[in-house]
Structure 1
Amino acid sequence: MLFNQHTSFGHNTHKHNFIDKASLAIKHLSQLTENEKDSLKHFNCGNEEYCNKPNALPNYLLEYAQNKSSEVIFLCFQDAIIGYMYLVENDLPNSSPCAKPQYIISVKSFAIDKKYQEQGIGKFFLLEIIESYKEKKALESSRILKGLCGSTANPKAEKLYLGLGAHKDPNSINLLLVI
């Protein structure tokens, strides 16, 4: 488990649920309980495209979670999914034939349930995923993680990425966080 600190999130307990990050768990699809999978039906990230369509989010995420070229990671709390990230690794061109291959992680979709937003949980989740990738790839030592690419389409996500030091790509809606 990636969580060992006992710092609590939340500054406004009237608006949001209060969470101690020691009680959070990061899981892959194969690790989810049936209750956690079922909780996706009630997941509300505030995006009307998904919230108004029954099972749109569960079907979308479960389909991508089974794709070998991508990874869906879930953030769970008290037998429910409260966040997720849909990630794709993209190889970068090598500057030299002798250099180790480099890649970036593209965040295709990233959401925290509306009840748990603005408590630092998204930032915590993102930083844990970055550290996990860095550790995993360091052990493999076959490729080098160079960064994380996210989108400016959501103002809250843009603020998060910029707060972590990401730079805007002037030619697209993407941001790059160099690792």
Structure 2
Amino acid sequence: MTIMVLGIFIAVLTFCLELYFKEFVIQHFHSIADQMVDKNGVEPGNIEKFYSIGYHNSLIGLIIILVGFIPIYGFPVIYGLISFTAVGVVAGYGYIMDYDVIKTMMIAFVPHAIIEIIPILYSMAVGMYINKNIIKRLYLKKNNTSKLGTMCKKGMKSYLLIVVPLFLLAALVESFITTFLIDRYL
């Protein structure tokens, strides 16, 4: 629960910062939009979006877990909370461009975000499990922690059986259902 509250705080903070740096935000969003279209000016199809979103989100989950091996307490949580900035970024840009932010967020963000938040939080939990055990073993010299091999196996199993499928489900919703909702209602 604390992570969710902190994540919401970060999203609101990012939203407010975007309002302050309005011109910078507009310039970079246009640059990102230009990169989304290939050299022929063709927007990627739903299948390409699915593969791209699924791959990048799964990679983010893996990175959140892997930073647990860095012996800085809480590092996976910090890295995972960066994901919450996307909410503030999208809402801030929508507000700057005079969109109906609530309607846009409900149609273009919430359907896949509800699913996507679960593997992000789960990746943070797995990363913290690894992080806590590494720190106990390294700094506190406690031998009753999980072995490195066991942590790697459990982490990889959790990643492959829980995190990746949920990210792929979220990517499916984002690339097909959200796209349909945007075309229909926005």
Name the structure where helix makes up a greater proportion of residues.
Answer: 2
Name the structure where strand makes up a greater proportion of residues.
Answer: 1
Q: TM-score, normalised by structure 1?
A: 0.26
Rg larger in structure: 2
Q: TM-score, normalised by structure 2?
A: 0.25
